[in-house]
Amino acid sequence: MKHDKSLLHRRHGSNPLIETSLYTDKAIKLEDMKIINRRFMGAGMSQSYAAIYWQEYYYEANRFEYVVEFGSQKGSLSTYLANMAGISEAFFFDTFELYPDTDWYSRPNEGAGHWFDKLSDSSPFVNYFHQDVFHEDSINRVKGNIDQFKTFIFCDGGSKINEFHLYAPLLKKGDCIAVHDWNHEIGAMHTDPICQEHGLEQHEPYASSAMGLETQIMPFIKK
C-alpha cells in the first residue's frame, strides 16, 4: 500500500545552518553547535545544538528516572527529551510553560502546541503542562514524583532564581538540578545560600564550561 501524500505537513521556513553548509562549500563547524534560533526535529530552537548534546551526555552519565523542564518555549529541547523518554521508556518527562512563544506555539502542524499534544497523547512517559511552575498543582506534582524517582530538574523558565530557590530544597540525595544562562540571569550569589542550607553542590565535571560547551549550564547535585 502506498503512503498517502495528503497526510504530510509542509513546514514553514528553513534551517539557515543547512542552507549555509549543505548547499555551499562551507562545512558545519563545531562552533555552529552554539548557534541558536535553528530547528531540532522541526521544532523551533531557543537554545543551541550544544545544549541538546549536554542533555544527552548528562542523562547518560546519571540515568535519571524523572526529568522536569521549566520553560518549554519553542519546544526543541522539550521535543528531544520527550522523544528520548517516549522511545527509551527509561524515564518520565514533564515540561512546564506558562507563556509559550506565541508564534511558534500556535503554528498549524509545527508549533510547540502541536508537538506537545502529539507527544503527550502518544506516550504515558511524556506530559506537557501549560501552567505556572509556582502553582500549587505544579509543586505537588513535581514533589510527588521527586519522592519516588531519581530526579533531574532543568530551570530555564522566566524566573530561574525563584525556580531554583523553590525546587532545589525539595530534592533528595542523588537528585540533580541545573540552571541555564549561568552567570547571566543567575549566578553563585543566588544559588550558594540554598546550596549551603540544603546540602547541594555544583556538579562541576558536568558544567557546560568544563565540557567546552558555550551553553551556560550549571548543574547541582544533592549530597
Cβ atoms 152, 64 nearer than 8 A: yes
* pLDDT, greater one: 41 or 162: 162
Q: Please tell me the total count of domains within the chain.
A: 1
Residue 21 pLDDT level (bands cut at 50, 70, 90):
very low
Question: For the chain, how far is it from start to end, CA to CA, in angstroms?
Answer: 57
Question: How many percent of the chain have pLDDT more than 70?
Answer: 70
In the prediction, which pLDDT does 41 show? 66
Mean pLDDT, residues 179-207 = 97
Q: Tell me the CATH number at 92.
A: 3.40.50.150
Q: Which domain holds residue 100?
A: 5-222
In the prediction, which pLDDT does 23 show? 37
**Cα 127 to Cα 131: distance, rounded to the nearest angstrom:** 12
Residue 18 pLDDT level (bands cut at 50, 70, 90):
very low
Residue 16 pLDDT level (bands cut at 50, 70, 90):
very low
Phi then psi for 200, rounded to 5 degrees? -110, 155
Q: Model-level pTM?
A: 0.82
Q: Cα dihedral sign for 182, 16, 55, 34?
A: negative
CA neighbor of 70 nearest in space, from 150, 148, 168: 168
Question: How many percent of the chain have pLDDT more than 90?
Answer: 52
Residue 48 pLDDT level (bands cut at 50, 70, 90):
confident
Choose from 19-23, 89-93, 124-128, 218-222 the range with maximum mean pLDDT: 218-222
pLDDT tens digits for 73-128? 777 788 889 888 988 899 999 999 887 655 555 555 555 556 666 767 778 899 98
For the ranges 27-36, 41-50, 109-118, the lowest mean pLDDT is seen at 27-36
